[in-house]
Amino acid sequence: MGWKPLLLVLGVLLLAAGCSGSSGSNGAEATRSPEATAAPSVSGSSDPAVSDGSPLEGGRFVRLFVDPPTLDPHLTTDATSAQIIVEVFGGLVTIDKDLNVVADLAENWEVTGDGRIYTFRIRPDAKFHDGKPVTAEDVRWSLERATDPLTEAPNADQYLGDIVGVDEKLSGDALEISGVRVVDERTIEITIDQPKSYFLAKLTYPTAFVLDRVTVEANPKTWFRKPNGTGPFRLSEYKVGETLVLTRNENYHLGPPKLAEVEMILSGGTSMLMYENDEIDIAGVGLADLDRLLDTSHSLNSQLMRAAPSFSVQYIGLNVNEPPLDDVKVRQALNLSIDKREIATIVLGDQVVPAKGILPPGFPGFNPSVTGYSFDPDRARQLLSESKYGGDLDNLPPITITTPGSFGANVSLDMEVVLSMWEQNLGIKTEFQQTEFATFLKDLNKRRFQMFDIGWIADYPDPENFLDILFYSDSSNNHTNYSNPEVDSLLEDARVETDEFRRYAIYNQVEQMILDDAPWIPLWYSGERYLLVKPNVRDYLQTPLIIPKLRYVYLTNQ
């Protein structure tokens, strides 16, 4: 959800709740389509009666993964963490496998005619993992904790800021959220500042998830190592750098998972080799292995699965307050001097789609007439010479790009070509540095980077999740420091526009204005993704957004 730490198509670990990412990975994952009527299963049939083997009650599903930057729902900003968090915790509402916003801990809700007051009724069978019932007070306390300035939840303003009183709470001017009221033990009322069609979807983000106050307050710094969640799985074991094990919650209110356990191997390894040695049940397929696996004579060809693109975009963020990126013509020149089509085809084997804009194809509000920059090195050089820095490259302020990754690691191949193109077409040499992902996210949120390579995966299917959250001047996720008063005004209009056609038209106008101002260099949309899945694994859903999905997976006797 949100920031994703990897390029999806090269073997994906995705993420996000609006989440982030960079190139390179070793897992297999994906993300949510508003137009799809169901999430595709990558293996077999969802009907056990027509499957190739009899379904097992239980079993262990094993995959390669990496240590999540956090397991605290209120602190998560990345897709890697979100994949675990959505399985262990939950909120009032969730996204189901058919990609609809549906009830989770709430059994139902009502909205007043003016669209501002939501009244949620908690399910009578909603319980924490220890069997304790979930109450309206648990929901209230969790929202208060997420918006407590001492919690330092990076996304609280973005995903909860529509609630009346949250801004005052975050700024320290109020001790409680005035727009949240416990009606009775099972009923909670939430008032938002203006009617907003996407508000309910925002509550599916982990910042709104419900936590157990007793567990959190007993061990404020380490509670998430042994959390008392409400989700389909319990976190039964976590050894940093070694393993993470999820165990079935037999009393899950939406129906217990079919698997007994899910094991995430965190100690590293080569996914293809581990898959071929039957050490893991699923593996992302990178470019180096794809051709041989596509050969129908290959022994693993029948286990090769293809999934639709995710709703994500990989991009280079340009901090508009940092010279020389403070000049729009320099930013535009950097955009124009990259031949994305050549990189996508020659370097990445057409496993990605060159990004022409911000919203990914097929996403609500996507408009192909909104477009950014085509490869034009002559125009790029002209713009650079017209900038306030002129053609004097010797006096051009140095540029450093930062990406998430281990210290001393090599630059990813696609980024290496981008840096080469800047030098070849503009004469600009760019320094490269990498930082560990959790540290990268902290520095990103503090806007410490001059230039950064990352990705965004949608949290919910609405253009607001890209354009407002990432580019509104006062947004905490506006990591480029981009500010355009006209864009801000239009985004504010779109928030309360009730006519979908007019609202999407506003977002189209906003997207074009942002592209013209060039605080981003959009690089890639996700292409079709390939992964290997063992024949006895069924209903591993591939969706274009991150949703709780492991409870649908089951194993069969081959």
pLDDT tens-digit series, residues 483-509: 999 999 999 999 999 999 999 999 999
Cα gap 444→448, rounded to integer Å: 6
What would the CATH number be for the domain defined by 312-526? 3.10.105.10
Please report the pLDDT score of residue 25 as a whole number.
Answer: 35
Please report the pLDDT score of residue 55 as a whole number.
Answer: 79
CB 551 within 8 A of CB 232: yes
Contacts of 324 (CB under 8 A, 6+ apart): 330, 387, 389, 396, 397, 399
What would the CATH number be for the domain defined by 93-218? 3.90.76.10
Helix (H) or strand (E) holding 381: helix 377-386
Cα gap 529→519, rounded to integer Å: 28
Neighbouring CB atoms inside 10 A of 258's CB total 22
Q: What is the phi-psi region of residue 300: left when phi exceeds 0, alpha when psi lies from -120 to 50, beta otherwise?
A: alpha
> Quick one: tokens of 305?
């699965």
Please report the pLDDT score of residue 438 as a whole number.
Answer: 87
Residue ranges of the chain assigned to CATH 3.40.190.10: 2-89+231-308+528-555
Please report the pLDDT score of residue 407 as a whole number.
Answer: 58
223-271 pLDDT, tens digit per residue, is 999 999 999 999 999 999 999 999 999 999 999 999 999 999 999 999 9
Please report the pLDDT score of residue 220 as a whole number.
Answer: 94
Please report the pLDDT score of residue 7 as a whole number.
Answer: 37
User: Which residue(s) pair with 283 in the sheet?
Assistant: 532
> Quick one: tokens of 287?
């470019």
Neighbouring CB atoms inside 10 A of 168's CB total 16
Q: Do β-strands 430-435 and 399-404 pair in parallel, antiparallel, or remain unpaired?
A: parallel
What residues of the chain score a pLDDT lower than 70?
A: 1-53, 406-409, 558
Please report the pLDDT score of residue 429 as a whole number.
Answer: 94
Residue with tokens 């399910």: 123
Please report the pLDDT score of residue 288 as a whole number.
Answer: 84
- Please, what is the angle between helix 377-386 and helix 413-426, to 10°? 60
Give the CA distances from residue 497 to residues 205, 222, 458, 481, 488, in Å, rounded to whole numbers and listed in that order: 22, 43, 21, 26, 14
Is domain 2-89+231-308+528-555 classified as CATH 3.40.228.10?
no
Please report the pLDDT score of residue 99 as a whole number.
Answer: 77
Residue ranges of the chain assigned to CATH 3.10.105.10: 312-526
Q: Can you give 401-434 as a three-state secondary structure string?
A: EEEECCCCCCCCHHHHHHHHHHHHHHCCCEEEEE
CB 547 within 8 A of CB 230: no
Alpha-carbon Rg for the chain in angstroms: 23
Amino acid at residue number 456: W
